[in-house]
Chain A
Amino acid sequence: MKKWILWTALATFLFAVIVHIAFVSYVPYKAMDTVMNVKFNYLNRNTLVPSPPTTEESRNVVRPSPDILYSICMYDVSRKPLLFTCKLPDEGYWSASFYADNTDNFFVINDRQAKARTVEILLVGRDMPAPDPGNAIVVKAASDKGLALIRMIVPDEKALPGLIEVQRQSTCRQVD
């Protein structure tokens, strides 16, 4: 009788450990999947979409910054690389950041690191040979599907129209 209880307790403990690790590991993937396939399911893949200024109505991603103008691209580089052509503002903070399907920010570049007012970034799949990048910065994606965010700080309301114009000039497209 006692042996039976002991084995059950041991099995329960081991199963609890497995569930614990599996659940904690699953949360980041689930969060990214929800954002990409539920919250932003109305957006086309491999397209850079300018988001409107952040307000209380911005409820797709937790803790949005109201001081940042975002553009978002849900990428899928499993078949073809993706070329981002980013226009930078004349002044102020700008960055382009790339996120894997486990939430890792595997690459980021900001305006101070950029060598020109227009930056090209070629995002390639993990197992894909990079094509001739030209002037583009080549970035190997940490996962074939993920998300790219372009951020521009909005210093004040007066700067907003100009930044929206800059935001619209950035694009991404698949290349062969």
Chain B
Amino acid sequence: MKKALKIILAVLAVLVIGGILGYSTAVAAYESLYSRGTVRNGQWVTNLTAGSSEAGLYARATVALHGLLALAKSETVYYACLGDDKGQQLSSSCDYRIEGKGLDARWWSITLYGQDDFLIPNEQKRYSFNTNTVKTNADGSYVIYLSPTSKEGNWLPSGAEDQRILLTLRLYNPGQTVYDNPGGIELPRITREGCK
């Protein structure tokens, strides 16, 4: 009787503890890959295997949860930015300055998402800036103001809800420099200017 009880307890321990351990380490592993990427470029991270059949187990899981139906790198390279120049998590209640200039791609866009990975509701129905819509200076550079309150120029509204936010940079048909040096090409810089 005592032996049978011992076996039942052991099996229960294996199933419960092993199950929790397996599940939590799995989630931690792919979420860690998501926030770190496989290549870091300043505040941006990317995973060049996203969407392709070269993707490993964890990359596939990351793409499935945070970038489902991503194109393979031969078509588009995606960068994500979750933090500002000080490494702090981007927040919808803060003002940011996104400074950049032309990128080596046929077409690019910077899109803002909420913590649920969907577009943030706003009266302007403005969710991104791209090659065509961003207003540039004479030298081709631009500044995008990411803020919950109205700004002159390229204003990207971060909405009324206080939440974590993130940016996605899409490079469609990128040039060879992007593939050769994804961690070294010049990407837009995100600077925090203040918070509510």
Please report A residues at the B interface, Cβ cutoff 8 Å. Answer: 4, 7-8, 11-25, 27-28, 30-32, 35, 54-56, 58-59, 61-67, 93, 95, 97, 99, 102-106, 108, 110, 112, 142, 147, 149, 153, 155-156
Q: Complex: how many Å from CA A43 to CA B118?
A: 21
Could you pull out 6 A-B pairs where Cβ atoms are within 8 angstroms?
A12-B17, A15-B22, A16-B17, A22-B22, A32-B64, A102-B60
A74 to chain B, nearest CB (A): 12
Given that A54-B119, A93-B107 are contacting pairs, would A15 and B69 also be in contact in the complex, using a CB cutoff of 8 Å? no
Count CB-based A-B contacts (< 8 Å): 168
Q: A104-B55, A105-B69 are in contact. List 13 more A-B contacts (CB 8 A).
A: A15-B14, A15-B22, A17-B22, A19-B26, A20-B25, A24-B29, A28-B63, A62-B65, A62-B116, A93-B173, A103-B60, A149-B69, A153-B172
Q: Complex: how many Å from CA A58 to CA B15?
A: 40
Given that A15-B14, A105-B72 are contacting pairs, would A21 and B57 also be in contact in the complex, using a CB cutoff of 8 Å? yes
B30 to chain A, nearest CB (A): 6
Residues on A with C-beta less than 8 A from B15 are 15
Residues on B with C-beta less than 8 A from A105 are 51-52, 69-72, 75
Top-8 shortest CB links A-B: A19-B22, A15-B18, A31-B64, A62-B117, A16-B21, A16-B22, A27-B61, A20-B22
Is B32 in the interface zone, CB < 8 Å from A? no
B156 to chain A, nearest CB (A): 11
A19 touches B68 (CB 8 A): no
B70 touches A66 (CB 8 A): no
Contact of A56 among B13, B118, B173 (CB under 8 A): B118
B102 to chain A, nearest CB (A): 16
Classify the secondary structure of B's interface with A. Answer: mixed
Please report B residues at the A interface, Cβ cutoff 8 Å. Answer: 6, 10, 13-15, 17-19, 21-23, 25-27, 29-30, 51-53, 55, 57-58, 60-61, 63-72, 74-75, 106-107, 109, 111, 113, 116-122, 125, 127-128, 130-133, 168, 170, 172-173
- B25: nearest chain-A partner, CB-CB: A20
Q: Complex: how many Å from CA A15 to CA B133?
A: 53
A58 touches B51 (CB 8 A): no
Q: Complex: how many Å from CA A86 to CA B55?
A: 28
A103 touches B18 (CB 8 A): no
Residues on A with C-beta less than 8 A from B168 are 63
B119 touches A55 (CB 8 A): yes
B18 to chain A, nearest CB (A): 3
Residues on B with C-beta less than 8 A from A16 are 17-19, 21-22, 25
Contact of B53 among A58, A65, A106 (CB under 8 A): A106
A12 touches B60 (CB 8 A): no
A8 touches B68 (CB 8 A): no
A110 touches B60 (CB 8 A): no
Q: Complex: how many Å from CA A149 to CA B10?
A: 50
A132 to chain B, nearest CB (A): 28
Q: Complex: how many Å from CA A16 to CA B28?
A: 14
